[in-house]
């Protein structure tokens, strides 16, 4: 019996020894070509479930690897992948490897069809300053770029968050208004999306959930964009699909009941990577330190790329955005109007606003953007981009009538009461921009190499029929009409003030009740109580600049 026990123990020890002798380990360090340690490199043993990343010392380790032949793969977005064949055997059960990785050389796309894989605060090229992919060092304009890494690390969610990263650029209001070198990018100035013109509109700052980077071209650049601001032009570059699968979900909460959600999904729809997609979703719901100010924003952005072969690349993008809130016209100041105005910024709390509870401002826009790049020969490429942009506005607001309440005098005001003007406005604008061009690469003359671009740019902006605005202001007349209660002098006042209705205290009766700065009341307003005495119809207009351009560079 004892002999049998010894036999069993001896057999188990033999099995363990044999098993231990059938496995080995792989370890090593990863550096770049300058000998600098590379952490966070993805290391996988192809054909197995073993994988991991290099530590802060650039060290990786695989233990208990069965003997055999393997392929060790090292990957990182900023470095070219390495595939190294290895063999573990009884003669060499432990492998010590020194891996050197080289910076990935990103091929410049002529038209931006797929997304930017590089992870860096610095961008290497721009597609929109010269109509084709150009290294920033070769661009003659003054160009500033805020990359997706900066947007992510700073938790930038709306367009106004980027101004602090750009010299000479300032945000001048709660809205999407900026100054470039002192010149304001107003609502009449068209900004750019992927280098193409949108409509000039006024509204809340758009969300950045589908924005890859923001480029600001400073200075006068009419040679490139025709009707651009002399101080500069802002171009938003949207996110494009990536060939590898990535998914991101972000939740944010903060002061003033701020809630934000963003989703970013991208991958290939087929193993051959002919079809790529990217989907971005965004939502924001936030209040403000100002009374009755809130904002809700929604973004749905889908993008598809089709890469049938190495010579043809197609991208189609569809984006829908809706913003709901109220317009904030700023802080009112007691005594800031009249013959002896006093500008005391502390005369009213910063939370004071004159809106009514049922005020609203809704602006909605959607666009479709398509791009095509077709290589004809080894040095001739045809490219074209198209953008159809549509914007709608629906407004109901109470704002100042640009003055304080009138007293029973031709030149006196009641400085603690503000004259109000309710506005109703609906409007729609649309634009079309198409820019086809041919690019001739590496055209040689003598010792020079030329890059020549010949293209056509067509832009059309249209004010759609039906745009109109109604306003109510002034003071009530005895005959039921409305007057302005503005007089040139005392004689004019004595002759014409009798046409107006007056309160018991002798002040004229307003068309819209005044807002009392000393005792503000926030309530629902009944618009049927007012006489909308001013109407304006936006004329149906078309704006369509066009031009042929030739750009060239020499090496």
What was the pLDDT predicted at 225? 62
Residues 69, 66: Cα–Cα separation, whole Å: 9
Output the CA–CA distances (angstroms, integers) from residue 441 to 8, 378, 454, 553, in the order listed.
78, 8, 12, 10
What was the pLDDT predicted at 3? 46
**Matching CATH topology for 2-101 and 125-238?**
no
User: CATH number of 2-101: 1.10.357.10, 2.60.40.1120, 2.90.10.10, 2.60.40.10?
Assistant: 2.60.40.1120
- In this structure, are strands 134-135 and 142-146 parallel, antiparallel, or unpaired? unpaired
Asked whether 43 and 52 are in contact (CB, 8 A), the reply is: yes
CATH of domain 125-238: 2.170.130.10
Output the CA–CA distances (angstroms, integers) from residue 337 to 145, 344, 476, in the order listed.
43, 12, 22
What was the pLDDT predicted at 336? 56
Residues 519, 540: Cα–Cα separation, whole Å: 43
Q: Which residues have C-beta within 8 Å of that of residue 503, sequence separation ≥ 6?
A: 509
Q: What token pair was written down for 439?
A: 């690019």
The per-residue pLDDT string of the chain (555 residues; one tens digit each, 9 = 90 and over) reads 444 444 444 444 444 444 445 888 999 999 988 888 998 899 999 888 888 899 999 999 999 899 999 999 998 867 888 999 999 888 888 999 999 998 764 443 444 544 555 566 666 667 666 666 677 777 777 778 888 888 888 888 888 888 888 888 887 777 777 788 877 765 556 678 888 888 877 777 888 999 988 888 887 664 466 556 677 788 888 999 988 888 999 999 989 889 999 999 999 888 778 899 999 999 999 988 888 888 899 999 999 999 888 888 899 999 999 999 988 887 776 655 555 666 667 777 888 888 899 999 999 999 999 999 898 988 889 999 999 999 999 999 999 888 888 888 877 888 888 899 999 999 999 999 999 999 888 777 777 777 888 989 898 989 999 999 999 999 999 998 999 888 888 888 888 888 899 988 889 999 999 998 888 888 898 998 899 989 999 998 887 888 888 877 776
Domain boundaries, the chain: 2-101, 125-238
Alpha helices (H) along 206-328:
222-225
Q: Which residues have C-beta within 8 Å of that of residue 475, sequence separation ≥ 6?
A: 406, 482, 483, 484, 485, 500, 501, 508, 509, 510, 511
| HSE value, Cβ hemisphere, 13 Å, CA-based, for 325 | 24
Asked whether 143 and 136 are in contact (CB, 8 A), the reply is: yes
Q: DSSP letter at 542?
A: E
For the chain, give percent helix, strand, coil, nearest 5: 10, 50, 40
Residue with tokens 């889908």: 302
How many CB atoms sit inside 10 A of residue 116's CB?
22
Residues 453, 449: Cα–Cα separation, whole Å: 14
What was the pLDDT predicted at 513? 92
């Amino acid at each position: 019996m004892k002999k049998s026990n010894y036999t069993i123990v001896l057999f188990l020890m033999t099995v363990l020894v044999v098993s231990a002798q059938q496995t080995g380990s792989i370890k090593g360090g990863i550096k770049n070509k300058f000998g600098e340690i590379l952490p966070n490199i993805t290391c996988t043993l192809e054909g197995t479930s073993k994988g991991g990343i290099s530590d802060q010392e650039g060290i990786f380790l695989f233990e208990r690897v069965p003997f055999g032949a393997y392929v060790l793969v090292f990957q990182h977005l900023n470095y070219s992948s390495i595939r190294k064949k290895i063999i573990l055997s009884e003669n060499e059960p432990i492998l010590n490897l020194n891996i050197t990785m080289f910076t990935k050389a990103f091929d410049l796309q002529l038209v931006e069809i797929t997304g930017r894989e590089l992870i860096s605060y610095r961008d290497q090229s721009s597609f929109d300053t010269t109509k084709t992919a150009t290294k920033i060092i070769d661009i003659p304009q003054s160009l500033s770029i805020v990359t997706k890494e900066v947007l992510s690390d700073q938790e930038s969610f709306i367009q106004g968050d980027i101004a602090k990263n750009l010299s000479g650029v300032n945000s001048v209001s709660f809205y999407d208004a900026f100054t470039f070198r002192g010149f304001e990018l107003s609502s009449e100035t068209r900004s750019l999306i992927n280098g193409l013109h949108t409509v000039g509109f006024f509204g809340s700052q758009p969300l950045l959930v589908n924005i890859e980077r923001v480029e600001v071209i400073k200075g006068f650049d009419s040679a490139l964009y025709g009707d651009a601001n002399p101080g500069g032009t802002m171009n938003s570059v949207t996110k494009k699909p990536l060939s590898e699968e990535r998914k991101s979900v972000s939740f944010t909460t903060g002061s003033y009941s701020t809630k934000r959600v963003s989703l970013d999904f991208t991958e290939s729809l087929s193993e051959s990577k002919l079809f790529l997609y990217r989907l971005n979703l965004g939502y924001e719901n936030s209040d403000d330190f100002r009374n009755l100010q809130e904002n809700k924003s929604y973004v749905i952005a889908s993008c598809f790329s089709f890469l049938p072969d190495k010579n043809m690349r197609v991208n189609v993008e569809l984006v829908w955005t809706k913003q709901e809130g109220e317009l904030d016209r700023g802080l009112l100041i007691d005594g800031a109007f009249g013959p002896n105005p006093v500008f005391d910024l502390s005369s009213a709390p910063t939370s004071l606003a004159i809106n009514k509870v049922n005020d609203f401002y809704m602006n909605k826009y959607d666009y479709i953007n398509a791009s095509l790049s077709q290589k004809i020969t080894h040095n001739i490429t045809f490219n074209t981009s198209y953008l159809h942009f549509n914007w709608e506005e629906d407004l109901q607001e109470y704002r100042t009538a640009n003055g304080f309440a009138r007293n029973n005098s031709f030149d006196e005001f009641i400085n603690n009461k503000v004259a109000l003007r309710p506005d109703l406005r609906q409007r729609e604008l649309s634009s079309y921009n198409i820019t086809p061009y041919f690019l001739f690469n590496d055209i040689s003359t003598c010792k020079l190499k030329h890059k020549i671009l010949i293209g056509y740019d067509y832009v059309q902006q249209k004010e759609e029929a039906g745009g109109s605005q109604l306003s109510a202001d002034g003071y009530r007349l005895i005959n039921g009409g409305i007057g302005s209660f503005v007089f040139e002098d005392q004689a004019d006042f004595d002759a014409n003030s009798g046409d107006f209705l007056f309160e018991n205290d002798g002040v004229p009766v307003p068309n819209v009740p005044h807002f009392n700065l000393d005792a503000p009341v926030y309530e629902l307003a009944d618009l049927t109580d007012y006489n909308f005495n001013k109407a304006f119809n936006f004329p149906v207009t078309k704006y369509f600049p066009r031009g042929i351009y030739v750009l060239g560079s020499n090496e």
